[in-house]
Amino acid sequence: EDKVVQSPLSLVVHEGDTVTLNCSYEVTNFRSLLWYKQEKKAPTFLFMLTSSGIEKKSGRLSSILDKKELSSILNITATQTGDSAIYLCAGSGGGADGLTFGKGTHLIIQP
């Protein structure tokens, strides 16, 4: 059975801190690892990672994939209150043709 595990499940930090969110995966026929941000409604796409060791960056957010360790991290530097959200990790591949999601990390940024 395909599985994606995220840690921590919840995290509270102060504005300005740097956070690292973790994702490990066991997905048959793995193709890519995706990160989404979910605020109040629909998840919105952040990154897609297919190659090990190549960092993807967008502003204060960055992510990297380690295919040997079957894991990925999402870093957020100089956090702001607007970064408060649930961050979802998902793997593509697998038996059914869709994404296998982790349970998410609920990140709260306190002013």
Partner 1 sequence: NAGVTQTPKFQVLKTGQSMTLQCAQDMNHEYMSWYRQDPGMGLRLIHYSVGAGITDQGEVPNGYNVSRSTTEDFPLRLLSAAPSQTSVYFCASSYFRPSLTNTGELFFGEGSRLTVL
- Minimum separation from the CB atom of position 33 to partner 1 (A): 9
**Cross-strand pairs, 24:** 5, 71
Number of residues written out for the chain? 111
Size of the site for partner 1 (CB under 8 A): 26
Cα separation, 49 vs 33, in Å, equals 5
Quick one: 42 or 59, whose CB is closer to partner 1?
42
- Minimum separation from the CB atom of position 77 to partner 1 (A): 24
- Minimum separation from the CB atom of position 5 to partner 1 (A): 10
Residue type, 70: L
Q: Do residues 42 and 14 touch, judged by C-beta distance below 8 A?
A: no
Apex 49 CA angle, 83 and 22, nearest 5: 50
Q: Name residues contacting partner 1, limited to 68-107 (CB under 8 A).
A: 88, 90, 92-94, 96-104
Q: Which residues here bind partner 1, judged by CB under 8 A?
A: 4, 29, 31-32, 34, 41-45, 48, 50, 88, 90, 92-94, 96-104
